[in-house]
Amino acid sequence: MGKHKNILNTLRAIALEHTTEQPDLALMARELGRVVHQDALALATRLASLRNRRHGLERWLLAERGRPPVSVLVLAWPPNHVTPVHDHAGLWGLEMTLVGALEVHSYQRDATTGDLRLRGRDWLGPGDGTWFEGDRHHAHRCRNLSRHETALSLHVYGGNLAEYFAYERAESTGQWSAPLPRRSALAGRLSG
Ligand SMILES: [Fe+2]
């Protein structure tokens, strides 16, 4: 039990330790990924209750700090759940799969036309991450690749991502509409 409890503390400590005004996100991802790879079973056991809740997409706060600003979250993804294309309010961020597998489509938004261009597709298994460096024009869409299992992911953001923008594309014209503000609620706080 002790080990299962400690792994969240370890992930939180790594995220906070590597948070600066301009963090080295590749390094943070490598350090977090190493722990996730090493202790995948402990992690799945510790977080089993989040996978069994079946309450829809849930965001759990693991840590937050003011200076430099950072928030660390665990997200629970219902089977097949897909987000809208969304930005991160200009914050830097790192998103890493803990349990299961996520697909991420990354986009770059044209500052003049508002059009979004697909930049890449990634498939993230446990310990795999994607990150962005506080670019206002970066957006992405994430999906749980499983039809049956809840996936879990770790998110580290350079601030409190309470508000962001979602983007929609008209099927008839292929045009991206003006961004829509969204609010993200917390399901609760996770203790280490
Ligand atoms: Fe995101």
Per CATH, the number for 2-189 is 2.60.120.10
Residue with tokens 């993804």: 77
Tell whether 88 is in a known binding site. Answer: yes
Ligand 1 center to 155 CA (angstroms)? 8
* Residue spans of alpha helices (H) in the chain: 2-17, 25-38, 40-46, 48-51
Q: Could you read off the pLDDT of 2-14 as tens digits, one per residue?
A: 555 589 999 999 9
Ligand 1 center to 1 CA (angstroms)? 31
Interatomic CA distance for residues 36 and 176, integer angstroms: 37
Binning pLDDT at 50, 70 and 90, where does residue 1 land?
very low
Ligand 1 center to 88 CA (angstroms)? 6
Tell whether 18 is in a known binding site. Answer: no
Q: Could you read off the pLDDT of 48-87 as tens digits, one per residue?
A: 999 998 889 999 999 999 999 999 999 999 999 999 999 9
Which helix (H) or strand (E) covers residue 18, if one does? Answer: none
Ligand 1 center to 141 CA (angstroms)? 7
The structural domains of the chain, with segments of one domain joined by +, span 2-189
Interatomic CA distance for residues 60 and 73, integer angstroms: 5
Tell whether 140 is in a known binding site. Answer: yes
| Residue 126 tokens, joined | 């446990």
The 3-state DSSP class for residue 22 equals coil
